[in-house]
């Protein structure tokens, strides 16, 4: 890839020049050099929005599905009063078709994100961001629109009610109409959309996505979707008016459109070469993801809908189409420098994975949406399937900072399974397998939350460094404590981070108070002898600063105005209005970190837990020691490294009596 970029330097200079010309002329998203890595080009999204740009139900937000309520209520009333016998095939298929389209699209989203995380057969090497995810969260608007128009067509066109389930002659007419007038009209309509007048008002919204995902295919303004609906109706309505239309032909045609749209906007090549070798004319009848990707990066080529023959006829095929296809097919899976090993927490955390539901994973998981309860059956089914068939960790996300690549691997297990004694061996085997796989692939550092010491001892020649992140987590907690603090109350000292925090505070001359005698005795053995005087057992004293991993259980006894600083990875379940709560140990990530478009569990956007950051620092700094078991990185050293590499604390320490809002 580096050789290719060097050889193409002159081409890239021309392409950049063209990019800026297009941006300044109002044509928005411009060409991007092939293989370009992480460059941000100027993008203009609908600089002069035209009429009917916004969707009519945009103001409804997540409640937009209520526009289909009248149709659903009519169906329910008809069923209750007349029974199933009154339903004709067309009416019966309408609602299930809408649901199946949503499932179909979600499958493509998950498949695409899984494949691009592995980077196998990747086409455009550029990162996604939250802006694109937010822009594309409206991908289901076109399904709602189609549903309303289907119901309208059923109401005003009598032949709809007369359609049988299948008619072969009508299906053949639909195919011919698509290959002829639909593909032809789309080609010229698409070229018209790239004229600066229509582009700046409508089509630039779609081209704002240089790196495409399957759902990018349907991200268009409302008016543009109306035009597409009329265009595709050319294939469907004539057979219906001729009396040879059928329900299944219409459903299959819609499925074909969804399939080709999603496939063509994947950012990885999946069309096997043997198909084109077996039947060479196929290259004119079906496009590939790399073929359409060039339309998003080079802008003035590859306009065709699904069948590229009009691009070949009118000489608008990009000259590098075949080269990019071949190069993308040869792409191999990436070997990361850093691996973060994680697992699902609650059942709904499945949706919060990057390969889950995009609009949910781009927000903290405590931001619930109203339709979450409808997805519980899917969550239960996925948990059971993962439990039965999950035999190894799988890639869910990739990030990049400087020259280091990071992948997140998820174990197919949930939080509650870690507490089951009979699952312990199975989970340890999964972790062991992931560690050995990372070691074999040359990974520099692997961050995991526990069990590291077991495998470090079992495999003393491991090249991969095992990191539990406790050193940086402790540093974050210590640097969250307000200046001038003389006393802290330790509520729960079972974790490695809590122990280390208490010991560090004693060494700094801050008094640490506990009210659990057993915990006090255990901790006193670990505090240096000269500093043990700062560790105190008391049931009466309650300082203003509370630290620990059991805050939920103890906070009821805290005085008004207490500042709680958790040391665990999990958020608190309860909160008092008269107290201040700091975040779990976490930091803001550098702006230079690429491909960040999901939230880590309950943390805000572009915030990462200290445990995960520790693995990154280990690789960036080239540290050679394992950090697991009783071993911990130097607290000051890890904190300095984090600041040096651009990680920032969530809150700045303030004076205890300054009145600053934490």
What does the DSSP 8-state code read for residue 300? S
The pLDDT confidence band at residue 301, using thresholds 50, 70 and 90, is very high
Residue of 602, 604, 611, 500 lying closest to 547 (CA atoms): 500
pTM of this structure: 0.88
Distance from C-alpha of 592 to C-alpha of 645, rounded to nearest angstrom: 10
- Is the pLDDT at 612 greater than 60? The verdict is yes
Quote the pLDDT of residue 7.
33
Residue, of 175 and 484, whose pLDDT is higher: 175
Q: Is residue 15 exposed (0-12), middle (13-18) or buried (19+ Cβ within 10 Å)?
A: buried
Q: Are 144 and 227 in contact (CB under 8 A)?
A: no
Q: Is residue 652 exposed (0-12), middle (13-18) or buried (19+ Cβ within 10 Å)?
A: exposed
Mean predicted confidence (pLDDT) in 418-447: 93
Distance from C-alpha of 14 to C-alpha of 140, rounded to nearest angstrom: 38
Q: How much is the mean pLDDT over the chain?
A: 88
Q: Are 482 and 656 in contact (CB under 8 A)?
A: yes
Instruction: Pick the range with the lowest mean pLDDT from 69-78, 121-130, 145-154, 241-250.
Output: 69-78
Distance from C-alpha of 464 to C-alpha of 436, rounded to nearest angstrom: 9
pLDDT tens-digit series, residues 446-459: 888 766 888 999 99
The pLDDT confidence band at residue 493, using thresholds 50, 70 and 90, is low
Cβ-proximal residues to 474 (8 Å cutoff; 6+ apart), any chain: 497, 500, 501, 504, 585, 632, 635
Quote the pLDDT of residue 24.
33
pLDDT tens-digit series, residues 508-553: 999 999 988 888 888 999 999 889 999 999 988 889 999 998 888 7
Sheet hosting strand 445-447, strand order edge to edge? 394-401, 404-411, 338-343, 445-447, 465-467
pLDDT tens-digit series, residues 359-393: 899 999 876 677 777 788 888 988 999 999 999 99
- Is the pLDDT at 84 greater than 90? The verdict is no
Mean predicted confidence (pLDDT) in 77-96: 87
- Is the pLDDT at 37 greater than 50? The verdict is no
- C-alpha distance across the termini of the chain, in Å: 47
Sheet hosting strand 487-490, strand order edge to edge? 535-537, 511-514, 487-490, 545-548, 563-566, 580-581
CB environment 627-644: b (16+ within 10 A), e (fewer): bbbeebbebeebbebbee
Collapsing DSSP states into helix, strand and coil, what is residue 265? coil
Token output for 623: 């540290």
- Is the pLDDT at 44 greater than 70? The verdict is no
User: 558 to each of 217, 492, 510, 551, 576, how far by Cα in Å?
Assistant: 54, 14, 19, 10, 10
Distance from C-alpha of 306 to C-alpha of 259, rounded to nearest angstrom: 10
- Is the pLDDT at 114 greater than 90? The verdict is yes
- Is the pLDDT at 117 greater than 70? The verdict is yes
Token output for 41: 């080009």
Residue of 188, 269, 208, 287 lying closest to 32 (CA atoms): 208
The pLDDT confidence band at residue 624, using thresholds 50, 70 and 90, is very high
Q: Are 151 and 94 in contact (CB under 8 A)?
A: yes
pLDDT tens-digit series, residues 544-566: 999 998 888 788 889 999 999 99
DSSP notation for 463-507: SSEEE--HHHHHHHHHTTSPBT--EEEE----SHHHHHHHHHHHH
Quote the pLDDT of residue 654.
59
Quote the pLDDT of residue 41.
36
The residue count of the chain comes to 662
User: 533 to each of 500, 513, 527, 539, how far by Cα in Å?
Assistant: 17, 11, 9, 17
Residue of 643, 649, 642 lying closest to 607 (CA atoms): 649
Radius of gyration, alpha carbons of the chain: 29
Token output for 654: 């303030």
Q: How far is CA 344 from the centre of its chain?
A: 15
Instruction: Pick the range with the lowest mean pLDDT from 78-87, 93-102, 115-124.
Output: 78-87
Q: Are 655 and 482 in contact (CB under 8 A)?
A: yes
**Residue that is written with structure tokens 């219906």 in the block:** 240
Domains of the chain: residue spans and CATH? 65-278 (no CATH), 471-588 (3.40.50.720)
User: 152 to each of 53, 101, 157, 165, how far by Cα in Å?
Assistant: 22, 19, 8, 20
Strand ranges (E), 325-474: 338-343, 394-401, 404-411, 445-447, 465-467
Strand ranges (E), 152-302: none
CB-CB neighbours of 227 under 10 Å: 15
Distance from C-alpha of 165 to C-alpha of 245, rounded to nearest angstrom: 9
Token output for 51: 């009429």
Quote the pLDDT of residue 48.
77
- Is the pLDDT at 574 greater than 70? The verdict is yes
């Amino acid at each position: 890839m580096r050789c290719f970029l060097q050889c193409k330097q002159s081409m890239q200079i021309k392409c950049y020049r063209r990019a800026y010309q297009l941006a300044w002329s109002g044509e928005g998203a411009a060409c991007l050099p092939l293989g370009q890595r992480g460059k941000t080009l100027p993008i203009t999204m609908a600089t002069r929005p035209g009429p009917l740009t916004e969707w009519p139900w945009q103001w409804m937000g997540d409640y937009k599905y209520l526009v289909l309520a009248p149709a659903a209520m009519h169906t329910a009333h008809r069923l209750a009063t007349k029974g199933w016998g009154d339903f004709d095939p067309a009416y019966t298929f309408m609602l299930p078709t809408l649901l199946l389209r949503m499932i179909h699209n979600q499958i493509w989203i998950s498949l695409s994100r899984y494949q691009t995380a592995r980077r196998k057969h990747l086409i455009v090497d550029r990162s996604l961001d939250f802006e694109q995810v937010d822009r594309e969260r409206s991908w289901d608007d076109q399904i709602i629109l189609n549903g309303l128009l289907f119901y309208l067509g059923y109401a005003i066109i009598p032949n709809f009610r007369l359609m049988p389930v299948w008619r072969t002659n009508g299906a053949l007419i639909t195919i011919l109409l698509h290959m002829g007038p639909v593909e032809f009209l789309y080609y010229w309509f698409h070229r018209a959309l790239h004229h600066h007048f229509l582009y700046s008002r409508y089509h630039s919204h779609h081209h704002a996505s240089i790196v495409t995902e399957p759902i990018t295919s349907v991200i268009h303004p409302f008016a543009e979707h109306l035009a597409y609906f009329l265009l595709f109706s050319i294939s469907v309505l004539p057979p219906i008016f001729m009396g040879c239309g059928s329900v299944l032909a219409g459903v299959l045609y819609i499925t074909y459109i969804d399939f080709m749209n999603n496939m063509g906007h994947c950012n990885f090549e999946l069309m096997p070469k043997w198909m084109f070798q077996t039947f060479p004319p196929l290259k004119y009848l079906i496009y590939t993801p790399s073929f359409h990707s060039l339309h998003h990066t080079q802008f003035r080529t590859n306009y065709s809908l699904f069948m590229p023959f009009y691009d070949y006829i009118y000489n608008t095929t990009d000259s590098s189409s075949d080269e990019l296809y071949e190069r993308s097919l040869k792409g191999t899976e990436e070997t990361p420098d850093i691996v973060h090993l994680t697992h699902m927490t609650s059942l709904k955390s499945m949706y919060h994975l990057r390969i889950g539901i995009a609009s949910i994973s781009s927000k903290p998981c405590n931001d619930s949406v109203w339709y979450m309860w409808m997805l519980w059956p899917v969550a239960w089914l996925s948990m059971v399937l993962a439990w039965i068939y999950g035999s190894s960790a799988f890639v869910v996300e990739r990030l990049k900072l400087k020259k280091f690549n990071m992948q997140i691997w998820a174990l197919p297990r949930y939080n509650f399974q870690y507490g089951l004694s009979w699952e312990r061996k199975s989970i340890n085997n999964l972790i062991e397998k992931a560690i050995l796989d990372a070691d074999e692939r040359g990974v520099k550092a692997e961050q995991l939350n526990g069990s590291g010491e077991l495998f470090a001892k079992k495999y003393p020649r491991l090249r991969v460094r095992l990191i539990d992140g406790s050193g940086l987590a402790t540093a974050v907690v210590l640097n969250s404590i307000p200046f001038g603090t003389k006393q802290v109350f330790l509520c729960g000292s079972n974790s490695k981070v809590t122990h280390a925090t208490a010991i560090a505070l004693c060494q700094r001359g801050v008094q640490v108070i506990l009210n659990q005698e057993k915990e006090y005795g255990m901790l006193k053995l670990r505090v240096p002898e000269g500093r043990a005087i700062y560790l105190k057992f008391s049931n009466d004293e309650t300082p203003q600063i509370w630290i620990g991993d059991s805050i939920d259980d103890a906070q009821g006894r805290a005085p008004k105005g207490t500042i709680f600083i958790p040391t665990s990875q999990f958020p608190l379940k309860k909160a008092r209005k008269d107290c201040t709560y700091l975040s779990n140990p976490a930091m803001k990530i550098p702006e230079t970190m690429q491909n960040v478009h999901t939230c880590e569990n309950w943390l805000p956007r572009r915030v990462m837990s200290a445990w995960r950051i520790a693995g990154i620092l280990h690789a960036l700094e080239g540290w050679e020691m394992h950090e697991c078991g009783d071993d911990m990185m130097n607290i000051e050293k890890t904190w300095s490294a984090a600041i040096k590499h651009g990680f920032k604390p969530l809150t700045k320490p303030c004076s205890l009596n300054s009145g600053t809002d934490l």
